[in-house]
Amino acid sequence: MRILCVAIGYLCGCFLTAELVARHKTGRSAGSIGSKNPGMANIGGLFGVKWAAVTLAGDVLKTALACLLCRYVLFPSLGRTAILYAGVGSALGHGFPFWRGFRGGRGVAVTCTYMVLFSPLWGLAANVAGLCVLLAAGYPAAGALVIPSLCLIPIFRGAGLEAGLVASAGTALLFFLHRDSLQRMAAGTEKKTDLLAKWKKSKKD
């Protein structure tokens, strides 16, 4: 059951909304424009808030589909832990889609989604904390990595060892997908992002 949850999540995660938006807007792959990352940040930077929201919605929906299908329809006996297995699978599919040479996005929206679905209170609190870190530090990777990290202790304490280990695997995966940003941050070469300035500019445009 657990492997099937991950597999179902992986297949759902392989659907890259950013790729559809990029091809709709330019006729080209998301991997060949902007930062070459098939994710919301790249799409938003190129085409504005509207298309960033479309990308975010698609990534949230595909993750929710996998998690809720496994939790309530296919493997209810696993309980809430099915959400984590399917969520980590979705992040794997988003980060390593088979049809794209296993080169995908970073899986931030996917990770945020399954954390909220598993633990709405802690997931939402962690998302707010991650946004605050992004606004304060200016590094998207820092804000993103705070989110699952803050959820780990509550998951271990509230849901048990298995759920905590699966959540830890998902957190480790997110760190791995951000390894290049972390290396640049350590070297002092990572570019900062002024999220508020970008939002104001997109409104004017």
Model pLDDT, residue 202: 53
pLDDT mean by block of 10 residues, the chain; 205 residues: 97 95 90 84 84 94 98 96 98 96 94 97 96 89 94 96 97 96 91 65 54
Cα 139 to chain center, whole Å?
16
- pLDDT score for 43: 87
Q: What is the pLDDT of residue 197?
A: 59
Domain assignments of the chain as residue spans, ordered by start = 2-204
pLDDT in tens, 60-75: 999 999 999 999 999 9
Looking at residue 201, its pLDDT comes to 58
